[in-house]
With several copies, the nearest count.
Chain A
Amino acid sequence: MASTAPLVVRASPLRRLQKELFGSRLDGLISIALLAALLAAALGFFRWALFQAQWAVLSANSTLFAVGRYPVEQQWRLWLLTTLLALATGLSWGLLRAFPGSGAVRALWPRNDRWAAAILGVLALWRPMALQLTLAIQARWWGIAGLLLLARWAAGRYGPAIPQAFRRLIPLLWPLLYLVGMVLISGGLGLVQVPPSEWGGLLLTVLMATFAILLCFPLGVLLALGRRSELPLLRWGSVIYIEFIRGAPLITLLFLGQNILGFLLPGGLAPDRVWRAAWVLTFFAAAYVAEAVRSGLVAVPAGQLEAARSLGLSVPLALVHVVLPQALRVALPATVGQFISLLQDTTLLSLIGLLDLLGTARTVMANPMFLGKNAEVYLVLAILFWSCCAALGLGSRALETRLNPHSPSAPQA
C-alpha cells in the first residue's frame, strides 16, 4: 500500500458550496427557493433604499436623534465627553492587546483589530458625510476617531512600558469617567444645569441603559445572594420581589412608576420622571440579573464555601473572594443577555412619553415635514440597536474565553 506523502486536501470551495447547497434534490429545491427569495428581497430593498427612501429625515434631525433638545450652547460638554470616551476606549483596547489573556499571543494589530479599525475608519469618514453634517462637525468626528485609533496604537505599543502600579489604576478610569460624564451632562460644579427633560435621543438611551446596567448588577447580586440565603426572611423577601417583578410586564411597571410613585412620596420628593423611569428599569432588570447570578451560584459546589469557612474566612470574605468570582464567571453570558435586553427595553420609555431614541423618532415623525418617513427612521434605529446588542454579545463571548483559558477540563498530561 504505497500511499503518497500525507497530503492535505480540502474540497475546493466550489465543490463544497455545491455539496452544501445541492447535496440532494430536496436541498437543491430549498436552495433555489431561498436564493430566489433572497434575491427578490435584496432587489426590493436596494430599489427602495436607492430610489424611494428619503434620508433627509435623518440628516435634518441628526442633532435631535443624537442628544435630543440638549441646549446648543452647552453641547460642547458632550463633545468633550465623547472625546474623553474615545481616549479611554482607545487606551483600554490597546492595553488589552498589550496584555493578552494567558495563552493568547501578543500582537500589536491582530486580524480582528485591523478589521475593527478599518470599520471604525470607514464609519467615521462616511457616516458624517452621509448625514450631510456641516464640515466643522464632520471634522470633529474624524478627529475623535483618529484620536481613538491613536490612543489604541500608543497603548498597544508603549503599554508594556507602563509601571505595574500605575497600570492597576487604569480600570478605575471608567467609573471615574462615568462620574465625570454625569457631571458634564447634567451640570453642577460650576457648569450650567441641564435638566433631564432636555436630554434625549441616543444620549438618553445610552444614559438610561448604562445607569440601569451599572446599578442593577450589584442589586441583582444582592438579590441572588438573598434568594440563596439560609435566613428565611431574606430568602422569602428576595423570592417575592424577584417573582413579582418577573411576573409583570415592564410597561406596566414603568406606567406604575410614572403614575403611582408620585403618590408614594411626599409632594416634591418624587424624582424627575426621567430618573423615575431609570429606577424602574434598574429594579426591573435587577430581578432578571438576580436569576442569572443565581444560576451561577448554584454552579459553585457547597464545598467551596465550607473550605473557605474552615480556613477562617468570614462569610462576606468567602463570598467576595471565593464564591462570587466563580459564580459570576458562570453567570456571565446570561447576565450580559439581560443587559442586552435591558438596552432593548429602553425603547419602552417612548411609550411613557420620554424622548429616548424611539421617542425622538416618534416626535420627528409628528413633524409635518417628515410625516410618513417611517421606514427610513426605523431601519436606522434597528441597525443602531442591532449593532450595539451584537457588540455586547460578542464582547461577552470574548470576555468568557479570556476569563477561561484554564478550564478544569484541561488536566495536566
Chain B
Amino acid sequence: MISSPALMIEARGVEKWYPNGFHALRGVDLCVHQGEVVVIMGPSGSGKSTFLRTFNAMEDFQKGSIVVDGIEISDDLRRIDAIRREVGMVFQQFNLFPHLTVLDNLTLAPVKVRKRPKAEVERQALELLERVGIAEQAHKFPGQLSGGQQQRVAIARSLCMEPRIMLFDEPTSALDPEMVQEVLAVMQELARDGMTMVVVSHEVRFARKVASRVVLMADGEVVEVAPPQQFFTNPRHERSKQFLSQIS
C-alpha cells in the first residue's frame, strides 16, 4: 500500500441537480491516482462535463464528497482557491483571452493570483510555449493563431499555474481534423511526464495509447471503468457496447 501512488481525486456518491431540477449526476464514484490518465467517454448529455467541472469546484453538487489532492471540496472559499491552484482545466472552446498576447495569456494568472515576479513567469511561460511547440507565436494575439495552436496555448496557460492535475473537456472536438493530432501529441507528452489527467474525449486512438483507465458515463452515472485494452475490445456492459458501436 505504501508504494501505491497517492490518490489525487476521490469522488464518492456525487449527486447533482441543476437549479431547474435536472438530475445531472446520480451518485458517481471515481478515484484517480497520481500519474494516471483517466479518459471519460459517454453519449452527449450524460454528465461528463458536469462531473469534470465538479473536480475544480466550477460546479457545486448536493450530495456526496470529492477530495482533491487531500483537500475536500466544500463551500469554503479558501479551500476552493487551494483546489483551483492544484487543478488546471482546458476547454473545448480554448477560451483564450483575445485581448491579450499569447504570452500575457500565460502570465496573467501567475502574476495576478500567485503574485509571482513577472520576469520569472515570463521565462517559464516561454519554456512552456517551447514545450508545446509554439514559442515563436508568443507575441501574437490568439485571433492570429490556428485552432490547434490556440488549444496548445490553452494547455500551456494551465501548465503555467503549475497544477498537479489537469482536466481536459473535449479538447479536440472544436478542431479541424488536421489539428487534432498536434494537440493530442502535446497531451501525450504531458502524460508521459507523469501529469495526472482526466480527459473527456472520444479519441479512441488517444485513449488506447495513453489512458490508464477509461470511464463510460451514461445518464449521469458511471457505467463502466476499465483499462482501455479491455474497454475497447471486450466491454462488460451492454451500454458500453452500444456506445462503442456508435462512435466507431
Contact = CB atoms under 8 A, between A and B. Distances in A.
A and B touch in the complex (CB under 8 A): yes
Interface string A304-327: 101111111110010001100110
Contacts of B93: 301, 303
Interface residues of B, number: 45
A229 to B, nearest CB: 16
Contacts of B143: 406-411
A404 B108 CA distance: 20
Contact of B161 (A301, A311, A314): A311
Contacts of B95: 301, 303-304, 306-307
A1 B222 CA distance: 8
Nearest to B98: A408
B164 interface: no
Interface residues of A, number: 36
Interface stretch (A3-11, A254-262, A346-354): A3-11
A398 B100 CA distance: 20
A10 B17 CA distance: 8
Nearest to A23: B75
Chain A interface, >50% SS class: loop
A325 B21 contact: no
B112 A317 contact: yes
A8 B21 contact: yes
A13 to B, nearest CB: 12
B97 A322 contact: yes
B77 A24 contact: yes
A37 B109 CA distance: 37
Interface of B: 17, 19, 21-23, 26-29, 56, 58, 62, 77, 81, 84-85, 87-89, 91, 93, 95-99, 108-109, 112-114, 140-146, 154, 157-158, 161, 220-222
14 contacts: A10-B17, A10-B21, A303-B91, A307-B91, A307-B95, A311-B157, A312-B81, A312-B109, A321-B108, A406-B140, A406-B141, A406-B143, A410-B144, A411-B145
Given A8-B23, A313-B112, A412-B145, 17 more contacts: A1-B26, A1-B27, A4-B26, A6-B23, A8-B21, A8-B22, A304-B97, A307-B95, A308-B109, A311-B84, A311-B157, A313-B113, A326-B98, A408-B98, A408-B141, A408-B143, A410-B144
Interface of A: 1, 3-4, 6-11, 24-25, 301, 303-304, 306-314, 317, 321-322, 325-326, 329, 406-412
